Structure 1
Amino acid sequence: MIALSLALIATGGAGVAVLLLQVGHRTEVVTVVRDVQVGQVLTEQDLGKASISLDPAVKAVTSDDLDQVVGKRAAVELRPGSLLSPSQVTRDSLVRAGEQLVPIGLKPEQIPATALVPGQKVQLVHVPAQGESETDKLADSAPKTLPGRVVKASDAAPGTGAVVVDVATSATDGPTVAAWVSAGTLRLVLAAPDGH
């Protein structure tokens, strides 16, 4: 009995030692400490550090790489208390040279069920205004469309459910898109994943 008890104590002690070693293996990672909007340049004040036991499957920016993410732009909206992953930052400006940013307000019935995310390609479609008369020729022709790319989509507004989507389009198309928005004749259509 004494020998069995000693063996159990030794086995239990070894298990506790392994558990302590696993718990003791911690990684210092970069965290988000305040709200960062899409496209905003990250500063040291936006970021913090935390020491955690990190699963290898989780992709997080380690504290050693903090200097490499400061100065980059947020590719998605960042929330306080979250870990920062490499895919959440970018060196690219979300609005590129030769592009314009056009805000598009969408009513609940105009919002796709698929969540709009930065970088998503869309088609901006011109539709006739409600009650506007059309000639047979116009009715038979395909509507005019322009390409665009989602930069940011707001949360649905309380009460109305309306969403504002910031869309990047070419500088030549920007004024046309803005006019369609103003006239209420624009619809936003999601492009296929390959952009076609």
Structure 2
Amino acid sequence: MSKTAERATTANGVAQQGHVSCPVAPPRVSARRRRPGVIALSLALIASGGAGVAVLLLQVGHRTEVVTVVRDVQVGQVLTERDLGKASIALDPAVKAVEAADLESVVGKRAAVELKPGSLLAPSQVTKDSLVKAGEQLVPIGLKPEQVPATALVPGQKVQLVRVPAQGATSSDTEGETSPQTVSGRVVKASQAAPGTGVVVVDVATAAADGPTAAAWVAAGTLRLVLDAPDGS
């Protein structure tokens, strides 16, 4: 054999050895063990999430027909159908409103508070009773800005009408009075301050026997209004 053949054989042998590869074992993949408890918890969370979304969609989609106020209504005014309207809204359970089906039941009742257009009508805002009861009289009292209490006057608030000495009165004019004269009353309505003067007119219900006395004090400019403590305490 020639050297050339030997080199070829040797080269072929090396080439053959270079191409020979040993079998490679596939990597072992350890299968994770599925825990039944984790699977059950996952399914429960998915189910509860879907239920929550369904409840939310139902709440958003549920609308209630309610009664609304469409015109200004003063305290004590009798409600008519022209004062009221209807609206369909998604009503929060915490909000108390008269349902549209009960609109006829509030027509003819009186406004217990001042009602503004665009607001919902609540059951507590109407009353079947007159704000001036039998045996009472209504006395309008004008209060100057310095006489108006800082506490807002609201219907039903108890007050005392107090007679004070007239301006310019001498001590001899009042020396026979040991204590101020007072009349008990109840606020029926308080107006807004008049532009320019700031005078507030308060309608006060008093006993029929005290009405003329209080009116005379108003005319003489000797009447002052004092708020009673809550619950008369």
Matched, 1:177 2:214: yes
Residue 194 of structure 2 corresponds to residue 157 of structure 1:
yes
Structure-2 change in CA distance of 1:136 and 1:38 (3 Å): closer
Q: Which amino acid aligns with 2:146?
A: E
Give the paired residue count: 188
* Corresponding residue number in structure 2 for 1:94: 131
Identity %: 81
The yes-or-no answer on 1:55 pairing with 2:83 is no
Distance in structure 2 (CA, Å) of the matches to 1:80 and 1:154: 18
116, 123, 138: which is aligned to 1:79? 116
Query: What is the one-letter code of the residue matched to 2:221?
Result: G
Partners of 2:165 and 2:174 within 8 A in 1: no
Give the structure with higher Rg (CA).
2
Per the alignment, residue 112 of structure 1 pairs with 149
**Distance across 2 between alignment mates of 1:189 and 1:176:** 16
**How far does the alpha carbon of each residue in 1:22-53 deviate from its partner, in whole angstroms, 9 at most, with x for none?**
22111111000111111111111111111111
Q: Which runs of 5+ in 1 are unaligned?
A: 1-10
- Name the aligned partner's letter for residue 87 of structure 2: A
- Matched with 1:134 is 171
Work out the CA distance in 1 between the residues paired with 2:55 and 2:62: 11
Q: Secondary structure at the match of 2:103?
A: helix
Structure (1 or 2) with the greater helix fraction: 2
The 3 A distance-change label for structure 1 pair 136 and 37 is closer
**Where do 5+ consecutive residues of structure 2 fail to align?**
1-47
The CA RMSD measured in Å over matched residues stands at 2.1
TM-score (ref. length: structure 1): 0.88
* Larger RCO, structure (CA 8 Å, separation 6 or more): 1
SS at match of 1:194: helix
What SS does the corresponding residue of 2:230 show, helix, strand or coil? Answer: coil
Distance 2:96 2:55 in 1: 25
Q: Report the alpha carbon displacement of residue 20 of structure 1 after superposing the two structures with TM.
A: 3.3
Give the deviation of 1:195 after TM superposition: 2.1
Larger strand percent: 1
